């Protein structure tokens, strides 16, 4: 950065000197004015070259404090970043709440789509590390909600996991949810109009969302373990 500023300062000085000389030759500047112009741009060039070290300089009696301006800007940026992170933290707390109204009877929890949109924004703004514990908490809640949504269309899942805190692995849950006997019992209850093929399609959609959430939970759990190991 210092080298770049030095080159920029030198180029600015040379360009201004050449421009001033042309005006001098054309008698549009007097000798004194040429000297003043050259000195002014020489000072500006030096300020650019040593911008990182310059505390302040004066222009026509007005003092410009570079480092203080830079400090204020950095402070404002830091405060904005902190506010953004806290806003995301608040939105994550809202992401755990159930939406109003009745469930549509589908196999995807009504909070999942909004969560993924929020998660994408958190990743885009590089806030993932700061919010990893909050994300882990929300994903845990959504996994239980997703399991519950799947259970509405799977008698086997409902009978095994209803009222428990267990979060089964996706492969195990898939086998249980798509079990033919379970699908047949679900069809007899009139789910999806008793269409077993439609029930299986609904379950596959729900299971895919469950798998994505489960994978994300593993990611944040591993991140949490690494953070603890680094502390020790």
Query: What tens digit of pLDDT does each residue of 75-97 get?
Result: 777 888 888 899 999 999 999 98
Q: At what angle do helices 132-151 and 112-124 cross, to 10 degrees?
A: 160
Pick the more confident residue, 18 or 93. 93
CA distances from 76 to 71, 83, 121 (A): 9, 11, 21
Pick the more confident residue, 200 or 18. 200
pLDDT value for 2 = 47
Alpha helix (H) residue ranges in 27-65 = 31-49
pLDDT value for 83 = 87
Termini Cα distance of the chain = 37
Task: Scan for tokens 């239980």, then name that residue.
Answer: 144
φ/ψ (deg, to 5) at 54: -70, 130
Mean pLDDT of the chain: 80
pLDDT > 90? residue 53: no
For residue 81, give every residue at least 6 positions away whose Cβ sits within 8 Å of its Cβ, in sequence order, or none: none
pLDDT value for 5 = 47
- Lowest average pLDDT, out of 45-59, 120-134, 196-210, goes to 45-59
Residue 92: HSE in the Cβ half-sphere, 13 Å Cα cutoff: 24
Contact 174, 207 (CB under 8 A): yes
pLDDT > 60? residue 65: no
pLDDT class of 10 with cuts at 50, 70, 90: low
pTM: 0.68
Task: Scan for tokens 């759990």, then name that residue.
Answer: 221
Residue-wise pLDDT for 102-112, tens only, equals 556 689 999 99
Contacts within 8 Å (CB) and 24+ apart, 189-192: 189/155, 191/105, 191/152, 191/153, 192/153
- Lowest average pLDDT, out of 51-55, 189-193, 204-208, goes to 51-55
Which residues share a beta bridge with 57? 64
What distance in Å separates the CA atoms of residue 51 and residue 44, rounded to the nearest whole number? 10
pLDDT value for 79 = 80
Q: Is 85 left (phi over 0), alpha (psi -120 to 50) or beta?
A: alpha
């Amino acid at each position: 950065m210092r080298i770049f500023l030095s080159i920029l300062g030198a180029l600015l000085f040379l360009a201004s000197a050449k421009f001033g000389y042309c005006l001098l030759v054309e008698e549009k500047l007097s000798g004194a004015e040429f000297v003043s112009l050259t000195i002014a741009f020489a000072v500006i060039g030096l300020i650019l070259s040593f911008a990182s070290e310059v505390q302040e300089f004066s222009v026509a009696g007005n003092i410009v404090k570079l480092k203080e301006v830079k400090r204020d800007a950095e402070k404002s940026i830091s405060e904005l970043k902190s506010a953004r992170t806290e806003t995301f933290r608040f939105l994550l707390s809202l992401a755990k709440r159930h939406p109003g109204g009745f469930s549509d009877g589908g196999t995807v929890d009504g909070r999942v789509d909004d969560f993924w949109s929020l998660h994408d924004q958190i990743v885009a703004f590089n806030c993932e590390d700061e919010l990893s514990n909050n994300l882990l908490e929300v994903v845990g809640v959504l996994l239980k909600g997703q399991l519950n949504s799947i259970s509405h269309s799977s008698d086997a899942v409902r009978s095994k996991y209803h009222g428990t805190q267990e979060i089964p692995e996706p492969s195990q849950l898939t086998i249980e949810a798509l079990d033919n006997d379970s699908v047949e019992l679900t069809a007899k209850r009139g789910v999806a109009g008793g269409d077993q093929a439609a029930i299986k399609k609904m379950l596959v959609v729900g299971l895919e969302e469950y798998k994505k959430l489960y994978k994300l939970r593993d990611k944040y759990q591993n991140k949490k373990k690494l953070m603890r190991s680094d502390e020790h």
